[in-house]
Amino acid sequence: MKTLHNITRTIFIPTLLVMSVGSVSAAEPVWDANKVTLVSEKLADGVYAYYSSEAKAKEVKGLPVATSGGFVIGSDGVLLIDTMLNERLNKQVQQLVREVTDKPIRHAVNTSFHGDHSYGNMYLPAATNIIQHVNAKAYIDQHFKADTEFMMQNFGKGRGIEQIVPTTGDTLIPESGKLTIDLGGKVVQIIDFGFAQTGGDLFVWEPQSKTLWAGNPIITVKPSLPWLLDGHLLETLATLNKVYDFLPEDAKVIPGHGSMMSKQDIKWHIDYLATVKEQVQSAIDQGLTLAQTVAKVTMPKFTGYALFGWVHPALNVPAAYKDLNKLK
Ligand SMILES: [Zn+2]
């Protein structure tokens, strides 16, 4: 899996660079970590989401939005969900915590190894218990340098990525694992629902307020789409269905890159992947090549995402083609 990971990234980097920036000049990242301002939103007593101040305006238009996360406060301390790309943004998150509590940050969860969710680990107080999926730590241990190069290509140089030193988990969640943390009057569950984007994906659930942090497997509301960066269409679809079934109807969902959404909003992503599966399978059944499949499976019902021109034809359809061909 690690090898596949690296290969996939290498293949997709040039495409990402060309397509993801759209009409913007090629040197510009899709969002600028030197400019983003994070805001927090109280979801319940001791339960907060944080996201870009521009999230609500941009997400509905399908424009890329900076990383989101949150924090949960118990009587004993704070658990942080995701630590951001660089020092500047990590310090903003710590400031948002300080604005509502003086309790120590005891735990920080990374929903994946992706740098915009985990590079900020190094800026947390040294005593913070970093919680990662065992596969996320393994990826960072083996591929950190290549990963920072990939991130600099996409988020730009001079965005604080040069300063990052790998800071991996103190507590590791195994495959299919689940960890419950009692923060004092507030219990948080950290769950591996299965392969969701990287094979080291963690979801965070606060049952009292029914809040789920999803990380990148759910980018944000429609018209954003999943990124099958590491392939695995079938597993990703199965995992999102599992997450959907887990959630009560009135759950609050904090996605990887947007503001709070509902359980029903996840349907869009599931419907998209199910349609990719159906149409790519039908192309394979007709004996079409990958290029013919990409040309045929255009799925105009699912356009609107600014990155559609890259994520659908260059990433997701080829990933599906490869995954479904394995079944033959
Ligand atoms: Zn992300």
Q: Is residue 42 classed as helix, strand or coil in its secondary structure? A: strand
Query: How far is the centre of ligand 1, averaged over its atoms, from the C-alpha of 67 (Å)?
Result: 5
Which residue has 């018209």 as its token pair? 223
Query: How far is the centre of ligand 1, averaged over its atoms, from the C-alpha of 227 (Å)?
Result: 10
pLDDT at 209: 98
Q: Is residue 242 classed as helix, strand or coil in its secondary structure? A: helix
Query: How far is the centre of ligand 1, averaged over its atoms, from the C-alpha of 215 (Å)?
Result: 7
The radius of gyration computed from the CA coordinates of the chain, to the nearest angstrom, equals: 19
Among 110, 91, 96, CA closest to 49:
96
Pairing of strands 105-109, 129-133: parallel
Q: Dihedral sign for Cα 276, 277, 283, 287, please.
A: positive
Query: How far is the centre of ligand 1, averaged over its atoms, from the C-alpha of 301 (Å)?
Result: 25
Per-residue pLDDT in tens (0 to 9) along the chain, 328 residues: 333 344 344 334 433 443 443 433 345 688 999 999 999 999 999 999 999 999 999 999 999 999 999 999 999 999 999 999 999 999 999 999 999 999 999 999 999 999 999 999 999 999 999 999 999 999 999 999 999 999 999 999 999 999 999 999 999 999 999 999 999 999 999 999 999 999 999 999 999 999 999 999 999 999 999 999 999 999 999 999 999 999 999 999 999 999 999 999 999 999 999 999 999 999 999 999 999 999 999 999 999 999 999 999 999 999 999 999 987 7
pLDDT at 28: 67
Query: How far is the centre of ligand 1, averaged over its atoms, from the C-alpha of 210 (Å)?
Result: 22
Query: How far is the centre of ligand 1, averaged over its atoms, from the C-alpha of 101 (Å)?
Result: 26
Residue pLDDT, tens place only, 218-245? 999 999 999 999 999 999 999 999 999 9
Among 180, 184, 86, CA closest to 131:
180
Query: How far is the centre of ligand 1, averaged over its atoms, from the C-alpha of 282 (Å)?
Result: 31
Residue 37 near residue 92 (C-beta atoms within 8 A): yes
Query: How far is the centre of ligand 1, averaged over its atoms, from the C-alpha of 284 (Å)?
Result: 31
Residue pLDDT, tens place only, 271-323? 999 999 999 999 999 999 999 999 999 999 999 999 999 999 999 999 999 99
Query: How far is the centre of ligand 1, averaged over its atoms, from the C-alpha of 288 (Å)?
Result: 33
Query: How far is the centre of ligand 1, averaged over its atoms, from the C-alpha of 63 (Å)?
Result: 14
Beta-bridge partner residues of 131: 109, 171
Query: How far is the centre of ligand 1, averaged over its atoms, from the C-alpha of 186 (Å)?
Result: 26
Q: Model's pTM, two decimal places?
A: 0.92
Among 166, 164, 180, 167, CA closest to 87:
164
Distance, CA of 22 to CA of 42 (rounded, Å):
34
Residues with CB under 5 A from ligand 1 (ion): 67, 114, 116, 216, 256
Residue 59 near residue 259 (C-beta atoms within 8 A): yes
User: Which segments of the chain does DSSP mark as H helices, in order?
Assistant: 2-20, 55-59, 87-98, 115-118, 134-155, 233-246, 263-285, 290-296, 308-310, 317-325
pLDDT at 326: 87
Query: How far is the centre of ligand 1, averaged over its atoms, from the C-alpha of 28 (Å)?
Result: 17
Query: How far is the centre of ligand 1, averaged over its atoms, from the C-alpha of 246 (Å)?
Result: 23
Query: How far is the centre of ligand 1, averaged over its atoms, from the C-alpha of 287 (Å)?
Result: 35
Query: How far is the centre of ligand 1, averaged over its atoms, from the C-alpha of 290 (Å)?
Result: 28
Q: What domains sit in the chain, N to C, each tagged with a CATH number?
A: 2-265 (3.60.15.10)
Beta-bridge partner residues of 255: 215
